[in-house]
Amino acid sequence: MHGNGVLNHREALNKMLNNKIKRGYENLETIVHTDQGTVYSSVSFNNMFNSYNVTRSMSRAGTPTDNPVIESKNGWMKKEMHIDFDKNNYNTVQEFIDDVVWDNNNYRPSFALQYKNPVEYRTQLGFK
């Protein structure tokens, strides 16, 4: 979604981290889990983490079981994207991804969240 270059990924990471600060979560730990791709293992990309409260999580090459929770979530989200959304109705990939994420956060109840969706659960806990 961000292209293949390190600069594109740095820009996306910077945007995400600045959004975290804007939403008032500056002091909360963030975990970023990635694979062993060239971009994610670059010195330039990794130096950005030094300025924020971020824990780096990286799978070992060829071992998606290093973070089974994320791998599982990504797997079922990809499956639902093909079943529940018509990707041909979107002008850009960004619009499509935004719609999938919005749907997941606002409509999809979760057993782990007492059958609430993530927005309901966070609101109940007093988060913005």
Give per-residue pLDDT as tens, 71-86: 777 777 888 888 888 8
Q: What pLDDT was estimated at residue 10?
A: 72
Average pLDDT, the chain: 78
C-alpha–C-alpha distance, residues 73 and 43, integer Å: 28
Note the pTM of the prediction, 2 decimals: 0.49
Q: Which amino acid is at 51?
A: S
The pLDDT-based confidence of 39 (bands split at 50, 70, 90) is low
Q: Specify the pairing of strand 30-34 against strand 54-58.
A: parallel
- Please, how many CA atoms are within 13 Å of residue 124, restricted to the half-sphere of its CB? 9
The pLDDT-based confidence of 32 (bands split at 50, 70, 90) is confident
- Cα distances (Å, whole numbers) of residue 97 to 23, 86, 104, 121: 20, 12, 11, 22
